[in-house]
Amino acid sequence: MGMTINDMLGQSALLTLLGMSVVFGFLIIMIIFMTITAKIIKKLGLDKDAAPAKGSGAKKAPAQNTAAVVAAIATAAREKNV
């Protein structure tokens, strides 16, 4: 006739394990795919643009940004006092 509570608990445990196995399997496949993709990108040299070139003036940009921020704060403070 109907399912007992033990039957329902057994079925829910089985479905839970099945669902977790599917998700775990997908994550393993995704990690393998990402690792292979990273190796291919490194082999082809497509990751060279990510590293900043030495001596390209990359250290000057934060100083300019800092000066711009200080100027913006000073201007805002002056406008608030007026």
Tens digit of each residue's pLDDT (9 = 90 or more) over 9-45: 999 999 999 999 999 999 999 999 999 999 999 999 8
C-alpha span between 79 and 65 (Å, rounded): 21
Contact assessment for residue 58 and residue 52, using Cβ atoms and an 8 Å cutoff: yes
Same domain, 44 and 62: no
Same domain? For 6 and 44 the reply is yes
Residue 15 identity (one-letter amino acid): L
If asked whether residues 47 and 57 sit together in one domain, one would say: no
44-72, pLDDT tens digit by residue?
988 876 555 565 555 555 666 888 888 88
Residue 14: predicted pLDDT: 97
Residues 23 and 39 in one domain: yes
pTM of the model: 0.51
Looking at the fold, whether 63 and 45 belong to one and the same domain comes out as no
Domain residue limits at 75: 53-82
Asked if 28 and 63 sit in the same domain, the reply is no
